Amino acid sequence: MIKNNYHTHTAYCHHAVGNVEDYVVAAIRYGFEELGMSDHAPILENFMTKSEYDKNWCYQNMKSDIVPIYLNEIEQARWKYGRQIHIYSGFETEFLPEQIEFYRELKSKVDYLNLGIHYFRYKGKILNSFSEVNYNTLNGYVETAIMGMKTGLFTTFVHPDLFMFQYQNVFGKREFDSYCIEATKRICETAIECGVYLEVNANGLRNSVVYGDSEEWLYPYRDFWNIAKEYKELKIIIGADAHNPLHLANEDVEMICRFCEELGLNIEDRMEVKSV
Ligand SMILES: [Zn+2]
Ligand SMILES: [Zn+2]
């Protein structure tokens, strides 16, 4: 099992349960050494059109006025539990290149940022990573990932293989094709170049059960990680992506550990948080 986790949400994102303290207490109970809080950062309404905002569930994310409350909760937890566990503050954010100042501002408030691309801009429109990636639009996802990693703002690119969720090849079939191979290589090479961790995401299993109709996981996607494992300098970590304190050490995390072991992935057990 894992002893550190840097991908943790709270009820402030409206699709998770528990406050900061609940996760900290659970992490201590599971014998964790480090816990990083990384709730979904706010997304401002003027970042996109109203319909794009709704389509991408942006209204769920933490509201701007909650940010100081969330940060204060982390501060309080450090004060109370700091001798038992090391607590990092963070956010999971999207990346729209034109809003870079917004992400810089967020980064200035916390220890680290996770990059999670749930949507991306492609030819002027905002597309959803779960439902609108195909052989054509995949490049928008990859370019967003590359630009994001190159900013130096992000420590980890979480669920980098999310593009496979409902990916469609030229025939409209969900198949890991040559475009996916190329995308995977570009993501891995940029991650190495920028010193960004790639995350094998345990929450993908739950999402696969909810949204998938077969035994196969929608993500983590085996073919992606089969390519990734060939890059010996690549830093890979496991993320619980906890949306409930119990997710920090549940059977999904266990299955992901086994998946990584079977694949022979070289997993880092600690994420180094650089103080910039
Ligand atoms: Zn979430
Ligand atoms: Zn997350």
Q: What is the per-residue pLDDT for 26?
A: 98
DSSP 136: T
Residue 276 CA to ligand 2 center (angstroms) comes to 23
Looking at residue 94, what is its pLDDT?
Answer: 98
pLDDT score at 207: 87
- pLDDT tens-digit readout, 128-158: 999 999 999 999 999 999 999 999 999 999 9
The residue among 1, 6, 2, 4 whose CA lies nearest residue 196 is 6
Query: What is the count of structural domains for the chain?
Result: 1
Does residue 25 belong to any structural domain of this protein? yes
Q: Is residue 272 part of a domain?
A: no
Q: What is the pLDDT of residue 276?
A: 58
Range of the domain at 252: 4-263
Report pLDDT for 206: 86
Residue 26's CATH number = 3.20.20.140
CA end-to-end span of the chain, whole Å?
Answer: 30
Distance from the alpha carbon of residue 243 to the mean position of ligand 1, in angstroms: 7
Per the domain annotation, does 274 fall within a domain?
A: no
Whether residue 268 lies inside any domain: the answer is no
Residue 87 is assigned to a structural domain of this protein: yes
237: in domain: yes
pTM: predicted TM-score of the whole model, two decimal places: 0.97
Which residues neighbour 222 within 8 Å (Cβ) at sequence distance 6 or greater?
A: 259, 263
| pLDDT reported for residue 267 | 97
Shortest-distance ligand to the CA of residue 157 = 2
Going along 161-219, which residue ranges are E strands? Answer: 197-201
- DSSP-derived letter for residue 237 is E
How many angstroms does the Cα of residue 57 sit away from the middle of ligand 2?
A: 14
- Answer whether residue 273 is part of any domain: no
Ion ligand 2: residue ranges with CB closer than 5 A: 92, 241
Distance in Å, CA 7 to ligand 2 centroid: 6
State the ligand closest to the CA atom of 159: 2
- Residue stretches of the chain with pLDDT short of 70: 275-276
Q: Which ligand is nearest to the CA of 116?
A: 2
From the CB of residue 15, how many other CB atoms can be counted at a distance below 10 Å?
A: 11
Q: Is residue 203 part of a domain?
A: yes
Residue type, 24: V
Among all ligands shown, which has an atom nearest to the Cα of 38? 2
Ligand positioned closest to the Cα atom of 12? 1
pLDDT value, residue 79: 98
